A = this chain, B = another copy of it.
């Protein structure tokens, strides 16, 4: 804590020049003699002068600040997106104003007003799931980009992981390993993520002209469900040679139960997870082959496109970002 902060006025006085000259000297503009510039810089240094971003923003109409609105508590998926965005902004001297609506539409509206009142240059809305969410961009004076959870308005700019493609990649991997009887255990059917991944599996199998081993098993996202599903599946369909799980949690439960039942992973049974949640995927035995949604990159890309939109170069539509297969020890040739 210290006294009143120095203004450019103080700097100018100390350097014995006008405010205008001080401003130019500090901002590296022309029209100021080199000796004068040195005097001003020294004065600024001595007074620990920090230009007031409020005054600057008031004048320029640009705050170099963006709002980051998370619809639900910053969760598992929001974090990497946030990190990526923060990363992209940090490089460009932008700052991030964080707001968490906790799934409450009223609170969201409230935060929205607060952000606009603070004159943010743009907005990133991070969804908690890949299900479309109500658009917030109607008549907003700033550009908005949606990340992870897309807007329900196709005129908005959204970035989502390509779950269909990610699942297909996983299944192609299993097929390439010579697996032919592939089952699917996944999360609740009312999640778009579940449905998309099941869809990707279906497409990949159809392309290979193979049937799916049994019906898709819909359940929860938990390890508990993974264990339970393993028991059911290994009982009902003892001849499956591969399982594609809708999440790493499910896969972790699955390999654990399979192991206890004496199935060797990956020899008897190849298992692929989803999310690449490292605390799980690298710590199971064996470590999980899994699909990484590249969320940090997604966040970074969203941020970069927000920049573009702020500059008037928007790119409307839902952009599907490719996922990446991370191969570990839970898959091997048949």
A interface list, Cβ under 8 A from B? 1-3, 5, 48, 50-55, 57-58, 63, 65, 68, 73-74, 79, 82-83, 86-87, 90, 93, 95-100, 107, 111, 113-119, 139-143, 222-224, 249, 253, 279-280, 283
Contacts and interface: CB of A to CB of B under 8 A. Distances in A.
A54 B51 contact: no
A3 B51 CA distance: 29
A283 B224 contact: yes
A283 B222 contact: yes
Given A54-B54, A82-B98, 18 more contacts: A1-B142, A1-B143, A50-B113, A52-B58, A53-B118, A53-B119, A54-B57, A55-B58, A74-B82, A74-B83, A90-B107, A95-B98, A97-B98, A224-B283, A249-B283, A253-B283, A279-B279, A279-B280
B74 A95 contact: no
Q: Which of A107, A119, A283 has the most CB of B within 10 A?
A: A283
Contact of A114 (B52, B95, B119, B222): B95
Number of copies: 2
30 contacts: A1-B143, A2-B140, A3-B141, A5-B141, A48-B139, A50-B117, A51-B117, A53-B118, A53-B119, A54-B54, A54-B58, A54-B119, A55-B58, A68-B98, A74-B79, A74-B82, A74-B83, A86-B99, A87-B100, A90-B99, A90-B107, A90-B111, A93-B114, A95-B98, A97-B97, A98-B98, A223-B283, A224-B283, A253-B283, A279-B280
For the complex of A and B, 7 pairs with smallest distance between CB atoms: A223-B283, A53-B118, A98-B98, A54-B58, A50-B117, A53-B117, A54-B54
A2 B139 CA distance: 6
Contact of A100 (B3, B86, B118, B224): B86
Contacts of A140: 1-2
A311 to B, nearest CB: 13
Nearest to A78: B79
A99 B96 CA distance: 7
